[in-house]
A and B are shown apart, each in its own frame.
Chain A
Amino acid sequence: MTYTAASGLFAATWLLLLFPLVGAALLLLGGKALDRAGYQFATLMPIASFVLAVVLFFHLKSQPTSGRAVDDHLYSWIAVGGFHVSAGLLLDPLSMIFVLLITGVGSLIHIYSIGYMAHDPGRRRFFGYLNLFVAAMLLLVLADSYLGLYVGWEGVGLASYLLIAFWQYKPAAGTAAKKAFVMNRVGDVGLSLAIMLMFATLDKVDYAGVFGGVHHIGHADLTAIALLLLLGACGKSGQVPLQGWLPDAMEGPTPVSALIHAATMVTAGVYLIARSAPIFDLAPEARLVVTIVGAVTLLFGAAVGCAYDDIKKVLAYSTVSQIGYMFLAVGLGPAGYAIAIIHLVAHGFFKATMFLGAGSVMHAMDDQVDMRRFGGLRSVMPVTFATFLMGYLAIIGFPLWSGFWTKDKIIEASFDKGGTSGYILGICALLGAGVTAFYMTRLMILTFFGKRRWTEGVHPHESPVSMTAPMIVLAIGSAVGGFLLILNGGVQHWLTPVLGKSAEEGVHTVNGTVLTIITLLVVAGGMSGAYVAFGRPTVRIPWTPPQAGAVVTAARRNLYGDAFNEAVFMRPGQYLTRFLVFVDGRGVDGAVGGLAALVGGTSGRMRRAQNGFVRSYALSMSLGAVALVGALLLVRFG
Chain B
Amino acid sequence: MNPANYLVLAAVIFTIGAVGVLVRRNAIVVFMCIELMLNAANLTLVTFSRLRGSLDGQVIAFFVMVVAAAEVVVGLAIIVTIFRTRRSASVDDANLLKY
On A, residues with C-beta under 8 Å from B are 607-608, 610-615, 618-619, 622
Contact = CB atoms under 8 A, between A and B. Distances in A.
Contacts of B99: 607-608, 610-612
Contact of B22 (A607, A610, A611, A619): A619
Tell me the dominant secondary structure on chain B's binding face: loop
Contacts of B21: 615, 618
B60 interface: no
Given A618-B21, A622-B22, A611 B94 contact: no
Tell me the dominant secondary structure on chain A's binding face: helix
22 contacts: A607-B99, A608-B99, A610-B99, A611-B95, A611-B99, A612-B95, A612-B96, A612-B97, A612-B98, A612-B99, A613-B91, A613-B92, A614-B91, A614-B94, A615-B23, A615-B25, A615-B91, A615-B92, A618-B22, A619-B22, A622-B18, A622-B22
Nearest to B25: A615
Interface string B28-52: 0000000000000000000000000
Contact of A610 (B25, B91, B98): B98
* Pairs of residues from A and B, 8 with the lowest C-beta to C-beta distance, nearest first: A612-B98, A612-B95, A607-B99, A610-B99, A614-B91, A610-B98, A618-B21, A613-B95
A566 to B, nearest CB: 58
A608 B98 CA distance: 8
A295 B21 CA distance: 101
Interface string B71-99: 00000000000000000000110111111
B52 to A, nearest CB: 20
A498 B16 CA distance: 110
Contacts of A622: 18, 22
B21 to A, nearest CB: 5
Nearest to B96: A612
A612 B94 CA distance: 8
Given A611-B98, A612-B97, 17 more contacts: A608-B99, A610-B99, A611-B95, A611-B99, A612-B95, A612-B96, A613-B91, A613-B95, A614-B91, A614-B95, A615-B21, A615-B22, A615-B23, A615-B25, A615-B92, A618-B22, A622-B22
Nearest to A610: B99
A610 B18 CA distance: 21
Residue of A610, A614, A622 with most chain B CB atoms under a 10 A cut-off? A614
Contacts of A608: 99
Nearest to A606: B99
Contacts of B91: 613-615
B78 to A, nearest CB: 12
Nearest to B21: A618
A298 to B, nearest CB: 80
A613 B99 CA distance: 11
Nearest to B23: A615
Contacts of A610: 98-99
A614 B91 CA distance: 7
B79 to A, nearest CB: 12
A610 B95 CA distance: 10
Contacts of B94: 614
B10 to A, nearest CB: 16
B48 to A, nearest CB: 17
A607 B97 CA distance: 12
A622 to B, nearest CB: 6
Nearest to A609: B99
Nearest to A611: B98
Contacts of B25: 615
Contacts of A615: 21-23, 25, 91-92
A611 B98 CA distance: 5
Contacts of A619: 22
A622 B20 CA distance: 12
Nearest to A608: B99
Contacts of A614: 91-92, 94-95
Contacts of B92: 613-615
Nearest to B95: A612
A615 B21 CA distance: 7
Contacts of B96: 612
Contacts of A607: 99
Contacts of A612: 95-99
Residue of B18, B91, B99 with most chain A CB atoms under a 10 A cut-off? B99
Contacts of B23: 615
A611 B96 CA distance: 9
A612 B23 CA distance: 16
A618 B22 CA distance: 7
Nearest to B18: A622
A622 B97 CA distance: 21
Contacts of A618: 21-22
A628 to B, nearest CB: 15
Interface string B6-18: 0000000000001
Nearest to A622: B18
A622 B37 CA distance: 13
A622 B17 CA distance: 12
Nearest to B19: A622
B29 to A, nearest CB: 12
A607 B99 CA distance: 6
Nearest to A604: B99
A306 B94 CA distance: 93
A614 B96 CA distance: 10
B83 to A, nearest CB: 15
B5 to A, nearest CB: 22
Residue of A608, A615, A619 with most chain B CB atoms under a 10 A cut-off? A615
A606 to B, nearest CB: 9
A312 B18 CA distance: 98
A32 B94 CA distance: 71
A615 B23 CA distance: 8
Residue of B91, B96, B98 with most chain A CB atoms under a 10 A cut-off? B98
B28 to A, nearest CB: 14
B75 to A, nearest CB: 12
Nearest to B92: A613
A303 to B, nearest CB: 78
Contacts of A613: 91-92, 95
B19 to A, nearest CB: 10
A610 B25 CA distance: 18
A622 B25 CA distance: 17
A615 B95 CA distance: 10
